Amino acid sequence: MSLNHVRPWRNIYRRKSRQIMVGSVPVGGDAPISVQTMTNTLTTDVAGTVAQVQAAAEAGADIVRVSVPDEASAKALKEIVRESPVPIVADIHFHYRRGIEAAEAGAACLRINPGNIGDEIRVREVIAAARDHGCSMRIGVNAGSLERHLLEKYGEPCPEAMVESGLEHIRILQDNDFHEFKISVKASDVFLAAAAYQGIADATDAPIHLGITEAGGLMSGTIKSAIGLGNLLWMGIGDTIRVSLSADPVEEVRVGYEILKSLGLRHRGVNIISCPSCARQGFDVIKTVEALEERLAHIKTPMSLSIIGCVVNGPGEALMTDVGFTGGGAGNGMVYLAGKQSHRMSNDQMVDHIVEQVEKKAAELEAVAAAEATAA
């Protein structure tokens, strides 16, 4: 829950959901909203897939999903799970036996699409395998693959059909005394997805996996996801998220974190507050921010940095950030530390100097956190 007693208009009251485990990662309840992505390598390319999983984990992914389309992929999954630094979700479509094999291979969670996995008997076999091997499950309802009887009943994919599909499959799991599951009701249409998620949130206490499916490329998909996921998260709906982009999985993780950071729901790395630049700027803001984003990507400690081109808004923004730089004149600007004016710095040395200040502040914050953890 994101609560701010000084600024109550920032408060987000998360929907109450029960908690499950995806490997070592808690999902739901009062656990932090986890960030997921999915590999796009061939699963049979174990080295390539593991490298992609590790890159996603380094970027902050809590959970990574891997497709298991065939028996060879299920065999490769065992080694991928063994080498992965984060829990692996096995993505299962059409072939229920892949779900059984993935559970046996050590997957932390099985993602099944009930609309294409087969009849209840096959779903029950997958449930049994999940139970036997300590897997959780995700019911993945998708507007593009709804069951025929629901399409005949409603005429087209709609929120009511998606919620009904989800509840039907929740019933199957619960009838088999299986409760370690989360659910998603994804659509590529932001309005449809948002309405379906609101409906399922009201109908069950299961943890919810948020996503706008097939959102698009890096820019368009980021915008659609930010609108859809951002509004749902603001309403308190969502326990784990995946931003679906036609882009590198690392970009999905970065976008996911930025969405959560913008709402105060997760904090990781440097949050750069910067102006769009204009004729008043005392230095090249755009190139400076690009350089700092690259140079500070390794910082995982949550902290804030303001980079403002002139004194119109610069001093005010700097008051609320850990480190700040405001453009001035004569080729130099003002450095702010902990919201206070500290010293002037030349524009041609500012990037190196700001990186140094941010790294120093990060080390201080990490030392404080370590001391508090030891004291506790």
Res 112: pLDDT = 87
231 and 303 assigned to the same domain: no
**Does a structural domain hold residue 157?**
yes
pLDDT at 2 over 80: no
How would residue 328 be classed by pLDDT, with cut points 50, 70 and 90? confident
**Does a structural domain hold residue 185?**
yes
Q: What is the DSSP letter of 29?
A: T
63-67 and 109-112 strand pairing: unpaired
Res 108: pLDDT = 98
**Does a structural domain hold residue 1?**
no
232 and 310 assigned to the same domain: no
- Residue-averaged pLDDT of the chain: 94
How would residue 290 be classed by pLDDT, with cut points 50, 70 and 90? very high
245 and 304 assigned to the same domain: no
pLDDT at 354 over 80: yes
342 and 229 assigned to the same domain: no
**Does a structural domain hold residue 42?**
yes
Residue 26, H or E segment: strand 25-27
207 and 296 assigned to the same domain: no
How would residue 115 be classed by pLDDT, with cut points 50, 70 and 90? low
User: pLDDT (tens digit, 9 = 90+) per residue, 176-192?
Assistant: 999 999 999 999 999 99
Mark which of 228, 246, 263 sits at the end of a domain.
Answer: 263
Q: Identify residue 255 by its one-letter amino acid code.
A: V
Res 101: pLDDT = 97
pLDDT at 262 over 80: yes
How would residue 247 be classed by pLDDT, with cut points 50, 70 and 90? very high
How would residue 43 be classed by pLDDT, with cut points 50, 70 and 90? very high
Give the separation between CA 341 and CA 221, rounded to whole angstroms: 39
Res 117: pLDDT = 75
209 and 320 assigned to the same domain: no
Mark which of 263, 288, 310 sits at the end of a domain.
Answer: 263
∠ CA 48-183-37, rounded to 5°? 25
Res 19: pLDDT = 98
How would residue 114 be classed by pLDDT, with cut points 50, 70 and 90? low
41 and 180 assigned to the same domain: yes
**Which CATH number covers residue 308?**
3.30.413.10
**Does a structural domain hold residue 2?**
no
**Does a structural domain hold residue 3?**
no
Percent pLDDT > 90 in the chain is 85
**Does a structural domain hold residue 226?**
yes
User: pLDDT (tens digit, 9 = 90+) per residue, 89-102?
Assistant: 999 988 899 999 99
Give the separation between CA 308 and CA 295, rounded to whole angstroms: 18
Res 342: pLDDT = 95
366 and 321 assigned to the same domain: yes
How many folded domains does the chain comprise?
A: 2
190 and 104 assigned to the same domain: yes
**Which CATH number covers residue 195?**
3.20.20.20
Mark which of 263, 283, 315 sits at the end of a domain.
Answer: 263
Structural domain boundaries enclosing 286: 270-375
pLDDT at 223 over 90: yes
243 and 361 assigned to the same domain: no
User: pLDDT (tens digit, 9 = 90+) per residue, 336-351?
Assistant: 999 999 999 999 999 9
Give the separation between CA 45 and CA 43, rounded to whole angstroms: 5
Give the separation between CA 57 and CA 340, rounded to whole angstroms: 35
Res 263: pLDDT = 95
128 and 253 assigned to the same domain: yes
301 and 364 assigned to the same domain: yes
